[in-house]
């Protein structure tokens, strides 16, 4: 690009070996012409500084950049040929902004801008071409382009070679923005993205991993048509899935990838047999599934769930795989099913499990054999009949087990906060459950 053997006319620089003002040129590393610009980060009297090349004026005292060079066009993008050798995870940057002096405010207004940041090593010249995003319909009067060999970490030794910097004209190659998936089911979902009026069509990738190394069959660079959504059909049950979209433009121009969207399919869980059945409670169980946010339970005395027991209708129990259902009638058949929640979407209900509560003993016998329960200062004390060996479990109102203890006569269990808890006591083949209030 450059033919001058000493400096690149019009550019200012901070660079190792060229501090403080000249851009270093290299005649063995050019991509075109006789020379390429080379900027390297380093340190000056112990103070790190990034390798820098800019059209603007550098204030070395305040370390700021202002101004630029006269420019009145509206290009669609800026391109450059780059080679980059980062040190210790550093990143290079290319920034450009177009401004126009505002007579009324006595300040420059931003007309358009673009930015590129990259931390990968680029051992061979590679063209980058980044679109300019305009904020105004006006033409600029000034442009400043800035190349940096380092980000804010400023790793000494990071070196950036720059050649063939050019303004590009024609169709603006803008990336689209991917939107959350809709119409999720066990067989797929609808991928969505923002429409772009100047794009010819779109391409989509759908993968089983966020790094896009394992693509869903038929969805690597798949033709997504000219619209702004596409139905995705998934051949196997795997969660979660990921998708990204690219815009295709005339002249075989392809945009950068959009943002990545995670799309968890609402696979149902499988309900398992209940356990720890008493005269007024049981513990429901189910299998975990991937990528859920929580589970909901339905409990009914009818297998078709045409009515529900108390509040147990789509009752959110959290991201757990068991739940203590209480407040039931004795010697009664109940049915339960579980739905998996994926954010605002819910799976189809699981299979249905039947459970029959135990027959309650008489009140006198129950009182005689039941443990005594006391509450005081965020503690629950359980006192047993002489010689009993018991397992004590404390559940919160979400059905989550917060404590389990073993005792022979008396035990005291601390609870995290005041509120309502369910005390479950198992002695031999007998199970007792009671709701208590800790004040």
Quote the number of domains for the chain: 4
For residue 412, what is the domain's CATH number?
2.60.40.3080
- Cβ atoms 99, 154 nearer than 8 A: no
- Cβ atoms 409, 388 nearer than 8 A: yes
pLDDT of residue 428: 66
Domain co-membership, 156 together with 227: no
**Domain membership flag for residue 230:** yes
Sheet holding 419-427, edge to edge: 401-407, 390-395, 419-427, 430-438
pLDDT of residue 388: 60
pLDDT of residue 139: 95
Expressed in angstroms, the distance from the first to the final Cα of the chain is 80
Domain co-membership, 21 together with 45: yes
Domain co-membership, 113 together with 246: no
**Domain membership flag for residue 1:** no
Residue 1 vs residues 29, 32, 146, 202, 247: alpha-carbon distances, Å: 11, 5, 17, 34, 30
**Domain membership flag for residue 2:** no
For residues 430 and 367, what is the distance between their CA atoms, to the nearest angstrom?
14
Domain assignment of residue 246, given as a range: 178-263
pLDDT of residue 25: 61
Question: How big is the chain by its Cα radius of gyration, in Å?
Answer: 34
Residues of the chain under the 50 pLDDT cut: 1, 5, 16-22, 362-368
- Cβ atoms 317, 399 nearer than 8 A: yes
Express as a percent the part of the chain with pLDDT over 70. Answer: 88
**Domain membership flag for residue 6:** no
Domain co-membership, 275 together with 254: no
Measured in degrees and rounded to the nearest 5, phi and psi for residue 365 equal -65, -40
Residue 367 vs residues 105, 124, 385: alpha-carbon distances, Å: 85, 84, 11
- Cβ atoms 31, 55 nearer than 8 A: no
- Cβ atoms 153, 90 nearer than 8 A: yes
**Domain membership flag for residue 5:** no
Q: Report H helices in 234-377.
A: 363-369
**Domain membership flag for residue 151:** yes
The tens digit of pLDDT for each residue in 27-75 reads: 667 777 778 888 888 877 777 788 888 888 877 667 678 889 999 999 9
Q: What is the DSSP string of 353-379?
A: EEEEPPPPPPHHHHHHHSPEEEEETTE
Domain co-membership, 36 together with 77: yes
Domain co-membership, 243 together with 318: no
**Domain membership flag for residue 3:** no
Cα angle value 347/349/355 (rounded, 5°): 150
Considering 331, 356, 381, which residue would you say is the last residue of a domain? 356
**Domain membership flag for residue 4:** no
Considering 245, 263, 281, which residue would you say is the last residue of a domain? 263
Count the neighbouring beta carbons within 10 Å of the beta carbon of residue 258.
21
pLDDT of residue 387: 54
Domain co-membership, 351 together with 386: no
For residues 159 and 90, what is the distance between their CA atoms, to the nearest angstrom?
10
Burial of 73 (0-12, 13-18, 19+ CB in 10 A): exposed
- Cβ atoms 272, 285 nearer than 8 A: yes
Domain co-membership, 195 together with 113: no
- Cβ atoms 436, 421 nearer than 8 A: yes
- Cβ atoms 56, 163 nearer than 8 A: no
Number of helices and strands (H, E) in the chain? 1, 39
Domain co-membership, 351 together with 373: no
For residue 191, what is the domain's CATH number?
2.60.40.10
The position carrying tokens 């063995």 is: 28
Domain co-membership, 215 together with 69: no
3-state SS of the chain: helix, strand, coil percent to 5?
0, 50, 45
The neighbouring-strand residues paired with 70 are: 142
For residues 227 and 196, what is the distance between their CA atoms, to the nearest angstrom?
9
Domain co-membership, 230 together with 339: no
For residue 64, what is the domain's CATH number?
2.60.120.890
Burial of 408 (0-12, 13-18, 19+ CB in 10 A): exposed
Domain co-membership, 130 together with 182: no
The tens digit of pLDDT for each residue in 173-188 reads: 788 999 999 988 888 9
Considering 142, 168, 194, which residue would you say is the last residue of a domain? 168
Query: Residue 389, SS3?
Result: coil
């Amino acid at each position: 690009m450059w033919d001058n053997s000493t400096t690149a006319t019009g550019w200012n620089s901070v660079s190792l070996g060229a501090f403080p003002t000249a851009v270093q040129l290299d005649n063995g590393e050019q991509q075109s012409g006789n020379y390429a610009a080379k900027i390297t980060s380093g340190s000056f009297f112990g103070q790190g500084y990034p390798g820098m090349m800019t059209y603007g004026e550098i204030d070395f005292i305040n370390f700021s950049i202002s101004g630029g060079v006269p420019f009145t066009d509206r290009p669609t993008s800026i391109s450059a040929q780059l080679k980059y050798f980062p040190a210790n995870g550093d990143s290079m940057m290319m920034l450009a902004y177009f401004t126009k002096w505002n007579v009324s405010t006595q300040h420059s207004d931003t007309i358009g801008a673009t930015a590129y940041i990259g931390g990968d090593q680029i051992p061979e010249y590679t063209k980058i071409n980044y679109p300019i995003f305009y904020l105004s319909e006006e033409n600029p009067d000034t442009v400043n382009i800035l190349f940096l060999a380092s980000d804010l970490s400023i790793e000494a030794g990071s070196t950036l070679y720059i050649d063939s910097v050019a303004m590009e004209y024609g169709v603006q190659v803008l990336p689209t923005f991917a939107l959350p998936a809709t119409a999720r089911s066990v067989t797929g979902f609808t991928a969505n993205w923002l429409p772009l009026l100047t794009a010819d069509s779109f391409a989509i990738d759908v993968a089983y991993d966020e790094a896009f190394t394992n693509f869903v069959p038929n969805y690597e660079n798949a033709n997504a048509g000219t619209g702004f959504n596409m139905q995705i059909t998934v051949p196997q049950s795997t969660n979660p899935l990921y998708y990204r979209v690219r815009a295709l433009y005339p002249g075989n121009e392809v945009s950068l990838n959009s943002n990545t969207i995670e799309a968890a399919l609402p696979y149902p869980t499988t309900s398992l047999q209940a356990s720890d059945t008493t005269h007024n409670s049981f513990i429901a169980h189910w299998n975990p599934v991937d990528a859920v946010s929580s589970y909901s339970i339905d409990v009914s005395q009818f297998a078709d769930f045409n009515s529900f027991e108390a509040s147990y209708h789509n009752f959110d129990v959290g991201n757990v795989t068991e739940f203590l259902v209480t407040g039931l009638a004795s010697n009664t058949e109940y049915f339960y099913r579980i739905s998996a929640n994926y954010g605002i979407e819910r799976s189809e209900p699981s299979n249905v499990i039947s459970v029959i509560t135990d027959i309650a003993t008489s009140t006198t016998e129950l009182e005689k054999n039941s443990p005594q329960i006391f509450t005081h200062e965020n503690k629950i004390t359980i006192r047993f009949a002489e010689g009993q060996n018991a397992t004590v479990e404390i559940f919160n109102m979400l059905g989550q087990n917060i404590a389990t203890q073993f005792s022979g006569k008396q035990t005291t269990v601390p609870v995290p906060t005041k509120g309502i808890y369910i005390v479950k006591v198992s002695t031999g083949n007998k199970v007792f459950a009671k709701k208590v209030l800790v004040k």
